[in-house]
Amino acid sequence: MNSKELRKAWIDFYERNGHVNIGAASLIGDGTTGVLFNVAGMQPLMPYLLGKQHPMGKRLCNIQGCIRTNDIESVGDSSHVTFFEMMGSWSLGDYFKEERTKWTYELLTDVFELPIERLATTVFEGDETAPRDEETAKLKEMVGFLPENIFYLPKSENWWELDRGPCGPDSEIFYITDTKPCGPNCTPACDCGHYVEIGNDVFMQYEKVADDKYVLLSKKNVDTGWGFERILAFLNETGDVYLTDLFKNAIEILEEASGKRYKEEEKSTISMRIIADHIRTSVMLLGDTNHLVPSNVGAGYILRRLIRRAVRHARNLNISTKVFEELAINFIDNVYGEFYPNLVQSKDFILAELNKEISKFEKTINLGMKEFDKVILRLSDKGLNTIDGESSFKLYDTYGFPIELTQELAEDKGFTVDMNGFEEKFREHQEKSRTVDTGKFKGGLESAGEMETKYHTATHLLNAALKRVIGPEVHQRGSNITAERMRFDFSCDHKLSEEEKKKTEDLVNEWIKQDLKVSYETMSKNDALKSGAECMFIEKYPDEVKVYSIGDVSKELCGGPHVEHTGVLGHFKIKKEESSSAGVRRIKAILTEE
Ligand code: SER
């Protein structure tokens, strides 16, 4: 089964069983779950898992791209990737354990034709949060799983949750590989490679409302997420995701460029996998519907790290980074374009941004590597093996080495990095650039929190500008801010004309230029209403509220925080204006330096 056939088999199976394919959402987290990226297929469905009615019904399925950045360091082996697709299906208060277990078995053994001896499964062993899941264990045995391959495991292994939101005990599925078990007590909890996780069925019956505090949901859901790449690898008995048709061409391109064979020797194989993975993920992020670009904060920093790490591994393979463009085109044209039309539409943008970031880094990497070698030599001479904050900050600041890259290079040499020292230098610099106009570096070192504060203030300005350009009937309907951009939903019955957009943008920029003072007063809700302040979602606020004023152009009830003067916002740019829902429009906007 190739990747296209697997996509079809998953969706066909669920459609046959009454599910609706809801398609994939953006890879960039919407800020509501405390994570930068979409890490699971269930993430965009949070409100519906908590009880809201989904417009497409109670049985849903899709194939959703996910990014898990905690896996960056693990990329290089045969199964880890930073971007992966999750084949998902959901019961929103509809079927539960019985149907789920039956379908899991049917999919694995009938549709995928995986031998049952190769499959293991786990269930929750129970604790004070929720009972031991004997029901699922019995059902698993009844449908045909081998009793010796069913394991009870604790919460650390068999419970799915994000920081807050819908959660519950889960039942995972593992492929049993040819790698020898590490000992007589080897279980799927062990990462020796004997058991590789390929899927997870979560029985979502709880909502996590605070640390260690769970409440029962009114409806029981099932959240299923199975790993597309890994299943593809086992279906084709490659045991290596980089040998599936998703990566086949990419690896061939790298083999040809380097003159080395994949798997010929460990070091170059690791570099090939890292480059193939990181360029694939970069293509997906740059071409995402929310268009991420490399930067020094938040999600953009991860993208920068991926591209720069790939550049470094190109050096290991002794190949030119020109090959990256070929890799990107291959992923867009041959592998993903058919399923992600946004990649095809944004092809020029993806290639341009990728090349821009590569050349930015390449301008300094040679000098940076020389500097790095000098640091190592100097410290070795002194009998030291920790890179101090000053040196690692210089590599970051002057040569564009993400700190993680320095850590990785250091590790190769048997060194560590003094992270406290680095952070101290970072903060010192931040202080300086706040008080002195450093020209060399504005905005580059801002923390995600500072950017979010700026976007927060820009939201108030945008709200005020829209009221003037369109009319006082415009009200905020929602907003979402990340360190990279703002999204603002507002009531309006028509698509904004080019002229309206331009006027709004100009007005916000004019107010930024005027460097208006931002201040607040604390008052009762009633006084806030009387003061004429914009009071959206007033019921969510405590009795005593803050009313923020920006010069005399905006007055809004808000919890803050904000910047002190609008002048620091830079330049405001509307990137997109679109419909959000009936009578509600959505603006996506960014702040840039000039
Ligand atoms: N949310 C679960 C997971 O990510 C199943 O989709 O493992």
The span from the CA of 390 to the CA of 413, in Å, is 19
| Average of per-residue pLDDT across 267-285 | 97
Is 209 inside any structural domain?
A: yes
| Average of per-residue pLDDT across 537-559 | 83
Residue reference for tokens 């995701």: 241
User: Does pLDDT of 159 surpass 70?
Assistant: yes
Q: In the listed set 213, 240, 267, which residue is the last one of a domain according to the structure?
A: 240
The rounded percent of the chain whose pLDDT value lies above 70 is: 95
Same-domain pairing of 225 and 272: no
Is 254 inside any structural domain?
A: yes
pTM of the model: 0.73
Is 487 inside any structural domain?
A: yes
- Pair 584, 492: CB distance under 8 Å: yes
Same-domain pairing of 192 and 53: yes
Distance 200 CA to ligand 1 centre (A): 6
In the structure, what pLDDT confidence band is assigned to residue 435 with cuts at 50, 70 and 90? very low
Is 119 inside any structural domain?
A: yes
Is 412 inside any structural domain?
A: no
More confident residue, 280 or 427: 280
Same-domain pairing of 139 and 223: yes
Range with top average pLDDT, 70-74, 238-242, 556-560: 238-242
| Average of per-residue pLDDT across 433-448 | 41
Atom of ligand 1 nearest to the CA of 202: 5
Q: In the listed set 316, 337, 361, which residue is the last one of a domain according to the structure?
A: 361
Distance 199 CA to ligand 1 centre (A): 8
Substitution candidate for ligand 1 out of 33, 35, 39, 42 with most atoms within 8 A of CB = 42
Q: Which domain holds residue 160?
A: 3-240
More confident residue, 397 or 507: 507
Same-domain pairing of 233 and 251: no
- What the block records as the tokens of 78 is 């045969």
- Pair 576, 588: CB distance under 8 Å: yes
Same-domain pairing of 86 and 235: yes
pLDDT tens by residue, 488-539: 999 898 999 999 999 999 999 999 998 899 998 888 888 888 888 887 766 6
- Pair 51, 217: CB distance under 8 Å: yes
Question: What pLDDT does 432 receive?
Answer: 63
Question: What pLDDT does 444 receive?
Answer: 33
In the structure, what pLDDT confidence band is assigned to residue 443 with cuts at 50, 70 and 90? very low
Distance 290 CA to ligand 1 centre (A): 23
3-state SS track over 5-51: HHHHHHHHHHHHCCCEECCCCCCECCCCCCCCECCCCCHHHHHHHCC
3-state SS track over 111-135: HCCCCHHHEEEEEECCCCCCCCCHH
The closest residue, in CA terms, to atom 6 on ligand 1 is 225
Question: Computed from CA positions of residues 33, 39, 40, 44, in that sequence, does the dihedral angle turn out positive or negative?
Answer: positive
Q: How many structural domains compose the chain?
A: 3
Is 274 inside any structural domain?
A: yes
| Average of per-residue pLDDT across 36-40 | 89
User: Does pLDDT of 220 surpass 70?
Assistant: yes
User: Does pLDDT of 31 surpass 70?
Assistant: no
The count of residues in the chain is 594
For 68-164, strand residue ranges (E) read 83-92, 119-124, 150-153, 159-160
| Average of per-residue pLDDT across 393-414 | 92
pLDDT tens by residue, 350-377: 999 999 999 999 988 989 999 999 999 9
Question: What pLDDT does 2 receive?
Answer: 96
Q: In the listed set 215, 240, 265, which residue is the last one of a domain according to the structure?
A: 240
Same-domain pairing of 199 and 54: yes
Residue 63's DSSP bridge partners are 87
The span from the CA of 74 to the CA of 315, in Å, is 20
- For residue 543, the SS3 value is coil
Atom of ligand 1 nearest to the CA of 199: 7
Question: What pLDDT does 262 receive?
Answer: 98
User: Does pLDDT of 464 surpass 50?
Assistant: yes
